[in-house]
Structure 1
Amino acid sequence: MNKVFITGTDTAVGKTVVSLALLQMLRQQDIVCAGYKPLSQNAQLTEQGLQCVDAQLLQQASTIALDYDRVNPYPFTGSEVSTGAITTVNERQLTTGMSFIEGQVERLVIEGTGGWHSRINTQNPLSDWVIKQKIPVILVVGIKLGCINHAILTAESILQQGGEVVGWVANRINPGLEEYQQLITLLTQHIAAPKIGEIPYIPHAHQKDLAAYFTTQPLANFFTR
């Protein structure tokens, strides 16, 4: 298996951080890898056109040089509920873009936007495309009160749609949460997939080396099967 889709229990739970961590881990193993973000939110107008910070980070973390529009073919200025200019998302273009990068790398990390069912300028969520393409999923859980419900429902929804959850990653987004360890224990018991990473609260995490927070053996098993 040479690619994986990173989804989250919600928006702002650490999908980009986990995507970067995974790319860092692959780089350290001398594996040619790249990031792909089909849709993005909150893009800003630059001299090169609309660009999203998250997609820029994936572009920089890739081991091959890719033009921005290859990494992020659909940058949107709005959020999920304020999508800016209406643009029709062409799933064929998403697939063509994925295949272009996939043909140049050994491993491809595809980052979603928002949660599993989030919609941006399309009647269907990006998850429908993921299911059609049969891309295995890694679930990012932002550890906070209420995350158990969100995590279990998201994992169940992926499975009910015919998807595969190959693992989940705990990302601590609330440093003051007293129930942190209890939440990790409960999530481990109730998500039907292995915990493959646990990232502590780290300010400016995208600037740090995050590869060590992954449990590499389950990932190695997944990527070499």
Structure 2
Amino acid sequence: MTRYFVTGTDTDAGKTLVSAGLLALARSRGLTTLGLKPIASGSLPTPDGLRNDDALALQARSVPPVAYDLVNPFAFEPAIAPHLAARQAGAELDLAGLCAHLSPLLREQRDLILVEGAGGWRVPLNEREELAGLALALELPVILVVGLKLGCLNHARLTAEAIRADGARLAGWAGSVVDAAFARDAALFADNLATLERTLGAPCLGVVPRLNRVKAARRPEAAIAYLELPHGN
């Protein structure tokens, strides 16, 4: 059983596309899976309560099936930083509560379990704690999703440095093209990827091109061809 915490270089870096893609890839190989997104901002009201598209994508690729409230116990409507969304909703977020929720789920006998964060590594959880502390408390290796655009080299290297400085292990990274123009010059794009491979010091799990947004949101399986599963914890 392998378990990872998935973080990104920024909001909209492609964390869910990569996370759901990895879960789908595992499923295509007959493995059992579980995708968890404990905190999600930008959720929509439904007859069943608030639902977040990213959490739904992870739930849909979790086999055996799992209830939504287990995948995403904290859903907030405004698409803002989690600690601010929680404050507006009158909710309290803390590492102890999140660990209590996630710990039994992480003990389930699944071949691949991914816990997707919110935003980047340094996103605040409350006035004292960061969401990054969840990976540390649960001793989860980290997969970093790099949003490939101008400035990504700096963002990726700083995030990798922060992950290691906090005492977590960077188990791998995946690139996700968020700016099509950035990838248009094939030679320059290849040079950027080579720099990331040389400087991040962790295996590359793949590079996902800029996919049609609707296709990517509804069918993350489109990313399977560009990804490889991490090799153990």
Question: What is the TM-score with the length of structure 2 in the denominator?
Answer: 0.88
Superposed displacement of residue 113, structure 1: 0.5
Rounded Cα–Cα distance in structure 2 between residues aligned with 1:97 and 1:36? 11
1:138 partnered with 2:109:
no
Superposed displacement of residue 104, structure 1: 4.4
Report the equivalent of 1:19: 19
> Residue 102 of structure 2: SS of its match in structure 1?
helix
* Structure 1 stretches of at least 4 aligned residues deviating more than 4 Å after TM superposition: none
Pick the aligned partner of 1:205 from 209, 216, 219: 216
Matches within 5 A, 1:121-200: 121=126, 123-177=128-182, 178=185, 179-200=188-209
Matches within 5 A, 1:14-163: 14-78=14-78, 79-80=80-81, 82-83=84-85, 84-102=88-106, 103-121=108-126, 123-163=128-168
Amino acid at match of 1:96: A
Superposed displacement of residue 4, structure 1: 0.4
Superposed displacement of residue 39, structure 1: 0.7
Cα RMSD between the aligned structures?
1.7
Rounded Cα–Cα distance in structure 1 between residues aligned with 2:134 and 2:35? 17
Superposed displacement of residue 106, structure 1: 2.6
Q: More deviation in 107-116 or 88-97?
A: 88-97
Q: For structure 1, list consecutive stretches of 5 or more residues without a partner in the other structure.
A: none
Change (3 A) 1:168 1:65: same
Task: Decide whether the 8 Å contact of 2:7 with 2:15 is kept in 1.
Answer: yes
Q: More deviation in 173-182 or 106-115?
A: 173-182
> Residue 174 of structure 2: SS of its match in structure 1?
strand
Question: What is the TM-score with the length of structure 1 in the denominator?
Answer: 0.91
Task: Decide whether the 8 Å contact of 1:143 with 1:180 is kept in 2.
Answer: no
Task: Decide whether the 8 Å contact of 2:143 with 2:171 is kept in 1.
Answer: yes
CA shift digits 1:75-111 (9 cap, x unpaired)? 1222118523231114333223323333242321111
Superposed displacement of residue 208, structure 1: 4.4
